[in-house]
Structure 1
Amino acid sequence: MRYFIWAMQFIVFLLFLGFALHNSQTVSLRYFLGYEWQAPLILMLLVFFCIGAAFGLLAGLGQLLKLRREILVLKKELRNRNSVTQTGPQQPDIVL
């Protein structure tokens, strides 16, 4: 199974390499106020893919931090409950 996964990764790498080699012509990205950036198409695609991935990770970061805080609170609560059940309920001494 490991060799199959390696073979699939190699095939995907070759597909992306072929895509990059066929899209090496220079393109222009025009900004406001006359600014312009010229670079190979594959470089622009890579840059904007990385920017999109970074925005996606940042969008999920808030939810991730919220879930981690909730896990810490639940672990603390579980630890407190386990310590109470292990020591058992405290019975008052009855003196007659």
Structure 2
Amino acid sequence: MRTLVWLLRALLFFTLFAFALNNSHDAVVRWFFGHEWRAPQVIIVLLAFGLGAAFGVLAMVPAWWRHRRAAQRAEPLPGTPIPAPDAPAVPYAAHQDGV
């Protein structure tokens, strides 16, 4: 199984590496007021992907916090066994009497 996982990782790495090599020509991102940024196309694509993923994670944080608070306040579901309280500690000498 580990071999299969490493083969899939290697396949993914070499696919992305080939993508980067094939898209190394310069591209231009034009901003407002005549500003432009020139960089290799693969850098622009990967930067856009990374920023989009980061924005998506940050957008989900409030919902995660809300669900976490709700889960902490929630009572156990009906039919869920409630753990018994811990038994009081009995000294070891009490067990020696054959009890």
When the two structures are superposed, what TM-score results if normalisation uses the length of structure 2? 0.73
CA-to-aligned-CA distance 1:7-29 (integer Å, 9 cap, x gap): 00110110000000110001111
Per-residue deviation, 1:62: 1.4
Q: Name 2:19's counterpart in structure 1.
A: 19
Asked if 1:72 corresponds to 2:41, the answer is: no
2:57 matched residue in structure 1: 57
Secondary structure of 2:28's aligned partner: strand
List structure 1 runs of 4+ shifted beyond 2 angstroms.
Answer: none
Deviation string, structure 1 residues 5-55 (Cα, Å, up to 9, x no partner)? 110011011000000011000111111100000000000011100110011
- Across the aligned residues of Structure 1 and Structure 2, the Cα RMSD in angstroms comes to 1.9
Percent identity reads 35
Gaps of 5+ in 2: 77-81, 86-99
Counterpart CA distance in 2 for 1:66 and 1:56 is 16
SS of residue matched to 1:7: helix
CA shift, 1:73, in A, is 1.2
Q: Taking structure 1 as the reference length, what is the TM-score of the superposition?
A: 0.75
Number of positions where the alignment pairs a residue of Structure 1 with one of Structure 2: 80
